[in-house]
Structure 1
Amino acid sequence: MNELIIVLDFGGQYNQLIARRVRENNVYCEIHPNDIPLEKIKQLNPKGIILTGGPNSVYNEESPLCDKRIFELNVPILGICYGAQLMAYLLGGKVSTAPSSEYGSTNVSIDGNSKLFDNVKENTICWMSHTDYIEEVPNDFRITSHTKNCPISSMEKNNLYAVQFHPEVMHTQEGNTMITNFVKNICHCKGDWIMLDFAESTIKQLKQKIGSGKVLCALSGGVDSSVAAVMLSKAIGNQLICVFVDTGLLRKNEADEVEKIFGTNGSYDLNFIKVDAKDRFLEKLKGVTEPESKRKIIGKEFIRVFEEEAKKIGKVDYLVQGTIYSDIIESGHGKSAVIKSHHNVGGLPKDLDFKEIIEPLRLLFKDEVRKVGLELGLPNYLVLRQPFPGPGLGIRIVGEVTSEKVTIVQEADWIFRNEIENAGINLSQYFAALTNMRSVGVMGDERTYDYAIALRAVITSDFMTAETAKLPWEILEKVTQRIVNEVKGVNRVFYDCTGKPPATIEFE
């Protein structure tokens, strides 16, 4: 049994990021609801527990709590933001509305020695996001840091630790050191969980679970579904059928590229079926402008296509999807709020004609999926490609999706990607999106009234937080000139300078 750290979810949007930071230390981590029974926690036998942030105030009646007895388990506990306030509240301290709320990068001063702050500078930059604060610590707790507006930005007692800031986000400069200190120095985890072990054990489990059953894999050609497909292929061989649906919402030339890689003459021994469903998806999306509705329509139509293909093939027992952990969390897992429904999570119809859905990657983050792919022998160019959302260009077109708009965004996106690649700039994700804004312009001495393209480029290690890439002006200028001159229907180009948070990487 691997060492385990559990994260109790109180509704914060960084919860999956906490788990990812723990896993970076090669320690397995799971997210569980805040109200998980104490006996279940004892059965899990965690080496440590982390209480997440959340949007509530601990002193309100409807706010989520946890079993107070977890503080008596003699297991190291780290409370973050709401989790810190909850620890103080349940153990007799006082939590109140802060005289001054804090949001953003804040200078934190470390007070005295603490294992949590080993190798952390006395003054360090941390990310704050709170309107409440710990006004009084519980008995025998000591204050270990403060800020200009927050006299208790961290506290501790024995194996109980609490921080008002968010060490898990990239904006906290020494946050990774703090998480490592908790996992390694406080919880005494060895860190022996590796991706090769995960791949081998998952393939073995899949073989046992599926037996002689037939499996239909939803293959998009993206990183997640490709890794899932190869993993299933290693587990069950020719019992696997991979269906690739051309929704008409893919990047320029992408459908042909996917078929070249996975088709009959491709590099992999897969039963590959390509379905042309472009007209079908556009018809379903006609008149739809609300982002969540678009996502769910696309997700539902995906499944219907798979069901129809399964009936042509004969009896199919299982449907495989490349769902990953961030898809589940952002779609409203546990107590977390729904940020956006992912097509493979939020859009699934209740009357599925399959025995079960298999999601072998559902507990992994994007970077972990890449590691599994490399362990399975997939080529770097496939595993390390930038992500592309399941709903495709449907969520990179603000407002109604039409054939004309798809062509516009495909061409603009191709130009942007082409120029970035030619310049040799290393980015995590970059693309063009079509806004719903039309404006007056002048081209060839004539008035135009056309669309505006938004360019997006970010740098991130986890895709849960991201910073806008500071692209050279000459690149943006060249891309703008090419798009306006070469793409019919566009007379303006914007560059999105917003990080995540407060924005998401995708537009819808």
Structure 2
Amino acid sequence: MSSIVVIDYGSQYTRLITRRLRELQVFSVIERPDVDVRTLEEHDARGVILSGGPQSVYAPGAPELPEGLLETRLPVLAICYGMHLLARALGGRVEASPSREYGKAVLSSYEGALFEGIEGEFVAWMSHGDSVVEPPPGFVATAATADTTIAAMEDRAARRYALQFHPEVRHTPKGIALLERFVAATDVARDWTPEQIVDTAVRDVRERVGDARVLLGISGGVDSSTLGLLLHRAIGERLVAVFVDHGLLRLGEAEEVERALRALGVDLTVIDASERFLDALEGVVDPEAKRKAIGRAFIEVFAAEAARVQDERGDIRYLAQGTLYPDVIESAGGHGAANIKSHHNVGGLPDDLAFELIEPFRTLFKDEVREVADILGMPKHLRDRHPFPGPGLAIRCLGEVTRERLEVLRRVDDVFISALREFGHYDDTWQALAVLTPLRSVGVMGDGRTYANTVALRAVTSVDGMTADWARLPHEFLATVSSRIVNAVPEVNRVVYDITSKPPGTIEWE
């Protein structure tokens, strides 16, 4: 499959470049700056995008262009730091800017191949301290701002383009049009569709697995449930699907998932492991320790079930997981990514894991998984559920996880989610959740004093979970929900609403 390769120089936006290309139905992969030309050929690269990055090209040890890249004559789009690298490599001049640009800037002029057909005000998101002050031979400046005379440049004959700003972020509203024009300058196929994703994943699983059996642990979320449908299509009865009810799901969710998957033909084994997980979490309060304890418990349950199935049906070689691209990134599985948090299906796996891992969704974003679920026939009410973390309510129950605290959190969550559906706000939010905090406060109910729990409600809007903004739910709605919670859940007497975006916060509190 032809692709556009994104070279990651450590920008927080690198994955967004990949995401935007996929929106244009172009397959894209991310590689390190030291990638060799042979790897580009293996990716069938038809173009290369150089990402931004936090460093100056003059800093000691600053990453360089991939060796041999310019000799390939592949079309190149260089963004921010990538622009500085390209300019310097081809004979241009880069200097520290007298005035740094951070945030939105309006282009005072623009022209050239990438801007063809674009009209009106062009708002661009800037984040740079260096600037190109003299373009390389063959290049012409194609855009400027009040503070940056060369905000874009191009060598149209060589199909090399450079932007000082970030076209991939939503803060550059017309940026997707620039990416689309770069795609048009390449001969990459635009066939990255849900149907193609399913066909490719099914083929890859069949080629790798052969006649072997695959063990899949279904947690109840959209990702693992969709993977169950995909593997069922790929290998049929050789899929050993185990739904582990870890006692950390939302109200009534375990029963709903079981009914749906059985109705779609998945041969499902259900294991009630709630006591085992609660035992594993006893006394654990650190978020990372929770995630790793849950990950270990999952593997232990799978291993026990695998041994039972092997006794009955023969060897199981593979363990499948519904790991997604954002999981990999946040667990420092991507190039240059900082470790933000461990995910139970990425971190915490024991060194003596007895299975070979297969992760068909490792390069997919959440919305792509939903599109795959639609192709595979998952009912809409399950497919469009809000994302739910693998560790479940354990990471929404701050502090120690107990059966009693989980029950309080379930009832609060049910009131909140039910109200979102009732008032028509559920589909307007990307994810909504309740958090049981370790805080207790004084309150008044009737004529009596209370000393009870504080819960936090959180709802965000997003496209892919990589960035998110807090949802502006109506005050009247929040007041109604707060009243319902404190009346329906006597263990709670205070409700707060989280108005933190991502970044700086993450969507989940733990």
Please state how far the C-alpha of 1:67 moved relative to its aligned partner. Answer: 2.2
The answer as to whether partners of 2:294 and 2:391 remain within 8 angstroms in 1 is yes
| 1:316 partner amino acid | I
The answer as to whether partners of 2:36 and 2:68 remain within 8 angstroms in 1 is no
1:344 alignment counterpart: 345
Matches of 1:396 and 1:127 in 2, distance apart? 34
Please state how far the C-alpha of 1:397 moved relative to its aligned partner. Answer: 2.7
1:390 alignment counterpart: 390
- Structure 2 spans left out of the alignment, 5+ residues: none
SS of the residue corresponding to residue 172 of structure 2 reads coil
Cα gap change, 1:352 to 1:124, in 2 (>3 Å): same
Instruction: Map 1:207-222; keep pairs closer than 5 Å.
Output: 207-222=206-221
- Cα shift readout 1:93-134 (whole Å, capped 9, x = no counterpart): 454555544444x1321523122223334532233334x221
1:463 alignment counterpart: 465
1:289 alignment counterpart: 285
Instruction: Map 1:180-191; keep pairs closer than 5 Å.
Output: 180-184=180-184, 186-191=185-190
The answer as to whether partners of 2:218 and 2:225 remain within 8 angstroms in 1 is yes
Q: TM-score, normalised by structure 2?
A: 0.91
2:75 alignment counterpart: 76
- Cα shift readout 1:248-294 (whole Å, capped 9, x = no counterpart): 221112122222223xxx30322312222223223323333333332
Matches of 1:136 and 1:102 in 2, distance apart? 15
Matches of 2:414 and 2:99 in 1, distance apart? 47
| 1:207 partner amino acid | R
Matches of 2:493 and 2:85 in 1, distance apart? 52
Please point out which of 285, 295, 302 is paired with 2:298.
302
The answer as to whether partners of 1:116 and 1:181 remain within 8 angstroms in 2 is yes
2:320 alignment counterpart: 320
Please point out which of 126, 130, 133 is paired with 1:133.
130
Matches of 2:115 and 2:464 in 1, distance apart? 23
The answer as to whether partners of 2:231 and 2:239 remain within 8 angstroms in 1 is yes
Please state how far the C-alpha of 1:151 moved relative to its aligned partner. Answer: 4.2
2:243 alignment counterpart: 244
| 1:320 partner amino acid | A
Matches of 1:179 and 1:212 in 2, distance apart? 42
Instruction: Map 1:33-432; keep pairs closer than 5 Å.
Output: 33-67=32-66, 69-104=68-103, 106-109=104-107, 111-130=109-128, 132-140=129-137, 141-158=139-156, 159-184=159-184, 186-262=185-261, 266-314=262-310, 315-332=315-332, 333-354=334-355, 356-425=356-425, 426=427, 427-432=429-434
Matches of 1:241 and 1:338 in 2, distance apart? 32
- Cα shift readout 1:318-356 (whole Å, capped 9, x = no counterpart): 1111112222222212222222222111222221111x1
Name which of structure 1's ranges 227-236 and 371-380 shifts more when overlaid on structure 2: 371-380
The answer as to whether partners of 1:11 and 1:337 remain within 8 angstroms in 2 is no
Please state how far the C-alpha of 1:92 moved relative to its aligned partner. Answer: 4.2
Matches of 2:472 and 2:177 in 1, distance apart? 26
Please state how far the C-alpha of 1:41 moved relative to its aligned partner. Answer: 1.9
Matches of 2:379 and 2:204 in 1, distance apart? 24
Please state how far the C-alpha of 1:78 moved relative to its aligned partner. Answer: 1.5
Matches of 2:151 and 2:493 in 1, distance apart? 49
Q: TM-score, normalised by structure 1?
A: 0.91
Cα gap change, 1:214 to 1:69, in 2 (>3 Å): closer
| 1:305 partner amino acid | V
Please state how far the C-alpha of 1:478 moved relative to its aligned partner. Answer: 0.4
1:491 alignment counterpart: 493
Please state how far the C-alpha of 1:148 moved relative to its aligned partner. Answer: 4.3
The answer as to whether partners of 2:153 and 2:163 remain within 8 angstroms in 1 is yes
The answer as to whether partners of 1:133 and 1:150 remain within 8 angstroms in 2 is no
How many residue pairs align between the two structures?
500
Q: Please, what is the CA RMSD of the aligned residues? A: 2.3
Cα gap change, 1:313 to 1:14, in 2 (>3 Å): same
1:439 alignment counterpart: 441
Name which of structure 1's ranges 186-195 and 324-333 shifts more when overlaid on structure 2: 186-195
Matches of 1:36 and 1:29 in 2, distance apart? 15
SS of the residue corresponding to residue 68 of structure 2 reads helix
The answer as to whether partners of 1:108 and 1:125 remain within 8 angstroms in 2 is yes
| 1:440 partner amino acid | V
Matches of 1:388 and 1:65 in 2, distance apart? 39
Identity of aligned pairs, percent? 46
Matches of 1:228 and 1:369 in 2, distance apart? 9
Matches of 1:249 and 1:215 in 2, distance apart? 25
The answer as to whether partners of 2:287 and 2:395 remain within 8 angstroms in 1 is yes
| 1:388 partner amino acid | F
SS of the residue corresponding to residue 409 of structure 2 reads helix
Matches of 1:95 and 1:279 in 2, distance apart? 62
Please state how far the C-alpha of 1:43 moved relative to its aligned partner. Answer: 4.1
The answer as to whether partners of 1:52 and 1:79 remain within 8 angstroms in 2 is yes
Instruction: Map 1:19-34; keep pairs closer than 5 Å.
Output: 19-34=18-33
| 1:222 partner amino acid | G
- Structure 1 spans left out of the alignment, 5+ residues: none
Matches of 1:154 and 1:230 in 2, distance apart? 46
Matches of 1:92 and 1:387 in 2, distance apart? 48
Matches of 1:65 and 1:259 in 2, distance apart? 51
Matches of 1:36 and 1:408 in 2, distance apart? 51
Matches of 1:58 and 1:301 in 2, distance apart? 46
